[in-house]
Amino acid sequence: MRISDAWLTVAFVVCAASVTVFMPAGSPYRGPDAAGLALAVAAAVCLWWRRTAPVVVVVVASVLVVVNSVVGYATTVTQWPAWISLFTLFSLRGALDRWVGAVAGLAAVSGYVLSDREPVGAVEVFSLLVCFLIATVTGDAARSRRAATTAEHARVRAEERTELARELHDSIGHAVNVMVMQAGVGRRVFAADPAFAREALGNIESVGREALGELDRLVRVMHAAEPVTDLTGLVDRVRAAGRELRLDAAEVTMSAGVARALHRIVQEALTNALRHTEAGRIDVHLAQVGATVVLEIVNHGGNLRIGRPGRGLANMRERARLVGGEVEAGPIRTGFRVRATLPAQAPS
């Protein structure tokens, strides 16, 4: 920004000096002299501070316009720094500063009309008011566009943070729950079945390494991640935790976004099944009906532990909603069921 201000200031200084010296206005205005050159250059130099102190620059530039007219010089170039600084003020500052700038600008127009050496006609007054309106309206429009862009960037950043939190909850949370379950199983059978306990420790190590890899992938390439449609890894983790799991997965065809949402929904549903029940079969059924992918996960475990509501179900519903689907979850006669219906192709 400062570089552009420097170029603009230098360009206007050169232009003001050249016009004042080589294209002087005729009678009844004063000819080129040091005072007229100083006023023109001073007005141009003000542009250097138009972003850092726009209110001061508008007031000073407006005063210079009136002084230039009062002492008898034509306002050929002196007026343009005032218009540019007024535009900058309206594009950067709030309502109070804009009111100050508007008053200064109108005062400059009035002072010029009253003090110019030639009578100022209606057409010229209209032209000055048009310049005033262009400077203020376009400046305010630029400020509004910048505010809208800032708000949009903030919204996108908030969505990205929410998506990252959801990814961490679904992937790392699932791995931690599996490790907790395996550690509990290993602890309970450590004395009676040390071989199984060692196997549980090995599974904990494997799941932990996978979780670290998943975390690294999320940090580095979250938005470029490839969809994961193979549910074998999730199924193996649950079975390694000592739970019976029956998988009935037909061949399905879906877009990348739907595949990611499906994978996370399965992951979260299995995590909840491990967290809230200690035993019982888990059934996972996946099929495609026309343009719709249907997923159903039933936890047949008894003694369902209902604790404080977490983010799991909300995340599943949100993931389904983002790809145009929905999730239904609730208790049934034999346990707890999660049913997701997703479009095979996510809407744009």
- The predicted-structure confidence for 77-97, as pLDDT tens digits, reads as follows 889 999 999 999 999 988 999
- Domain assignment of residue 92, yes or no: yes
- The predicted-structure confidence for 42-81, as pLDDT tens digits, reads as follows 998 999 999 889 999 999 999 999 999 998 888 888 899 9
Residue 340 confidence class, pLDDT cut points 50, 70, 90? very high
Q: Which residues contact 293 (CB under 8 A, 6 or more apart)?
A: 252, 254, 258, 262, 286, 287, 325, 340, 341, 342, 343, 344
Question: What is the CB-side half-sphere exposure of residue 248 using CA atoms within 13 A?
Answer: 11
Q: Could you give the CA distance from residue 242 to residue 284 in angstroms, rounded to a whole number?
A: 16
- Domain assignment of residue 105, yes or no: yes
What's the average model confidence in pLDDT over 326-344?
90
Q: Could you give the CA distance from residue 90 to residue 99 in angstroms, rounded to a whole number?
A: 9
Q: Are both 216 and 333 inside the same structural domain?
A: yes
Question: What's this model's pTM, rounded to 2 decimal places?
Answer: 0.52
Q: Are both 219 and 338 inside the same structural domain?
A: yes
Residue 337 is encoded by which pair of tokens? 């069921």
- Domain assignment of residue 229, yes or no: yes
Q: Are both 95 and 41 inside the same structural domain?
A: yes
Residue 224 confidence class, pLDDT cut points 50, 70, 90? very low
Give me the CATH number covering residue 160.
3.30.565.10
- Domain assignment of residue 257, yes or no: yes
Range of the domain at 310: 153-343
Q: Are both 288 and 224 inside the same structural domain?
A: yes
Q: Are both 79 and 159 inside the same structural domain?
A: no
- The predicted-structure confidence for 164-196, as pLDDT tens digits, reads as follows 677 666 667 777 777 777 788 777 777 788 888
pLDDT of 235 = 83
- Domain assignment of residue 13, yes or no: yes
Mean pLDDT of the chain: 83
What is residue 29's three-state secondary structure? coil
Per the model's pLDDT, the better-predicted residue between 293 and 150 turns out to be 293
Q: Are both 203 and 274 inside the same structural domain?
A: yes
Residue 229 confidence class, pLDDT cut points 50, 70, 90? low
pLDDT of 256 = 78
Residue with tokens 């994961």: 228
Residue with tokens 């570089």: 3
Q: Which of 314, 312, 267, 315 is nearest to 163 (CA)?
A: 315
Per the model's pLDDT, the better-predicted residue between 209 and 345 turns out to be 345
Does the pLDDT at position 225 exceed 50? no
- The predicted-structure confidence for 113-157, as pLDDT tens digits, reads as follows 998 888 888 888 898 899 999 999 999 998 888 888 778 777 767
pLDDT of 333 = 85
- Domain assignment of residue 190, yes or no: yes
What is residue 72's three-state secondary structure? coil
